[in-house]
Structure 1
Amino acid sequence: MSSAGGEISQTLDRGLKVLSLLAEHSDGLTAGELAEQLATARAVVYRLLRTLEAHRLVGRIGTRYVLGIGISELASRLRPRLQAVVLPILRRLSTQTNSTSLLSVADGDEALILLTEEPPQSTFHLALRQGARHALELGADGVAILAGRPPSDDDSSIVRLARSQGYALSVGVLQPGALGVAAPISTSEWASASIGIVQLGTEVSDPGVPELVMSAASEAARRLSSDFSAETPA
């Protein structure tokens, strides 16, 4: 099997496709359903699933297979790099929008606020606690992460809207009298982080804020992807 960049591993390719398919189906898939989607013999799929289970990348609920806890563990190892790459971007975004900016990461079905930056010239602004958590479905930062993943039948209308416009907006969801704008950091088909801002009010202070947030998230994704490429042996 080959690609534009040369030969690739067919087995690894199938294994990654299994993970992508499971990511698209939060209620899981059976081995038969996976075999049908991959147009592959069921025996081959069982071997893939056993290997992925051994690395905790896949779990099982009855006869259905779902993404495993190992996915979250791999994502957690990205956090130190996220902090180093994203901090200067957050500082600039905070100054540009006169808002508190934040980096959130998915931790299971919760959004974890990993980094925050407060606007240096603002007298009144919202302060966020690093380490705070909330459900992914609540708040612009969590919704943006969900919007950066493949579409699912379980997606709410808010997630679908965020996916279509490229950013999520929430008003008064986590804090009365405050709003949030966030965009996913998309380094793959499965987003695990977002960049956003929070500010006082019920309307975005400037119509250009969503574009600034999306631009910041895109820059973070480019820098992270470049970082990974630089470490990949030639």
Structure 2
Amino acid sequence: MPDGEGSQTLERGLAVLVELSRHPSGLTTAEVAAACGLHRSITHRLLVSLVRTGFAVRSGDRYAVGATVRAVAGVAPALREVAEPVLTALAQEIDATASLVEVRGGFAVTTVVAEPPTDGPRFSYRLGNRDPLDRGAGGLAALASGPPRDGEPDRVAEVRAAGVVTTHAELNPGAYGVAAPVRGWPVRAAVNVVTAAPAVAETAVEAIRRAVEEIGSP
């Protein structure tokens, strides 16, 4: 094919997509522009188009590879991979630890953790942390992410209907837990935030709802 043929816009878009694929935690518009040698306004337009078509996903000011790429490749998206950049943005937004909780072996297991960028006292969850399913926001919301089951705690139906739950001091003294179910995935899961500040817990409710919407379903 002669050099003059082809689409420069398409080639630039593919270059942006390749760059995003190298950074699972996502990149800002400025970082993509610098890496691809493009003007920031051009990069912004390309990213908007990639998000609109599902080839990229936006979380806060960061962009990552979207589900359409995996669909084209015939690869199902992994929940943890999709959730990680969303949780990172959530932790930055509310200045509290955010995590993904999955139902594993009868426990609420922490499988992704995002810490806020600022220093200071806070509750932190380590990867692999296991909590009961019938207490604490994360476990209750994870159970609520799926259809009703015989013998599930009565509170789960309330969480399923409300779409979010806030608890206080159920697992850790003084800790507020705020969580929302992540629906539509093969595993029961929830986005969970833990904080000692009542004001942060209140702010986190709508922020978590938005995070769950961004994660979506496969």
The answer, yes or no, to whether TM exceeds 0.5 is yes
Matches within 5 A, 1:74-93: 81-93=78-90
Q: Which amino acid aligns with 1:192?
A: R
SS in 2 for 1:116: strand
Give the TM-score taking structure 1 as reference length: 0.56
Aligned counterparts, 1:7-156, within 5 A: 81-152=78-149, 154-156=151-153
Runs of 5+ in structure 2 lacking a partner? 1-76
Moved over 6 A (4+): none
By how many angstroms is 1:108 displaced?
2.6
- Partner residue, 2:181: 184
Residue 181 of structure 2 corresponds to residue 193 of structure 1: no
Q: CA deviation at 1:133?
A: 0.7
Task: Give the percent of matched residue pairs that are identical in Structure 1 and Structure 2.
Answer: 30
- Identify the match of residue 211 of structure 2 among 207, 210, 216: 216
Measured in 2, the distance between the counterparts of 1:134 and 1:192 equals: 14
Cα deviations across residues 110-166 of structure 1 (Å, max 9, x unaligned)? 111111111102422112111111221121111001112223453433212211210
Q: Deviations over 1:6-37 (max 9, x none)?
A: xxxxxxxxxxxxxxxxxxxxxxxxxxxxxxxx
Q: Quick check: 1:185–1:217 contact (8 Å CA) kept in 2?
A: yes
- Give the Cα–Cα distance (whole angstroms) in 2 for the partners of residues 191 and 97 of structure 1: 26
Q: Deviations over 1:164-206 (max 9, x none)?
A: 2101222111110101111111115x751111110014x3525
The 3 A distance-change label for structure 1 pair 206 and 141 is: closer
2:122 & 2:150 partners in 1: Cα distance? 37
Distance 2:119 2:160 in 1: 31
Q: What are the Cα deviations for residues 40-99 of structure 1, in whole angstroms up to 9, with x where unaligned?
A: xxxxxxxxxxxxxxxxxxxxxxxxxxxxxxxxxxxxxxxx82222111101110011111
Pick which of 177-186 and 121-130 moved more: 121-130
Q: Contact between 1:86 and 1:220, CA under 8 Å: does it hold in 2?
A: yes
State the superposition RMSD in angstroms.
2.4
Greater mean deviation of Cα atoms: 207-216 or 140-149: 207-216
The separation in 2 between residues aligned to 1:183 and 1:206, in whole angstroms, is: 13
- Mark the runs of 5 or more structure 1 residues left unpaired by the alignment: 1-79, 226-234
Distance 2:128 2:190 in 1: 15
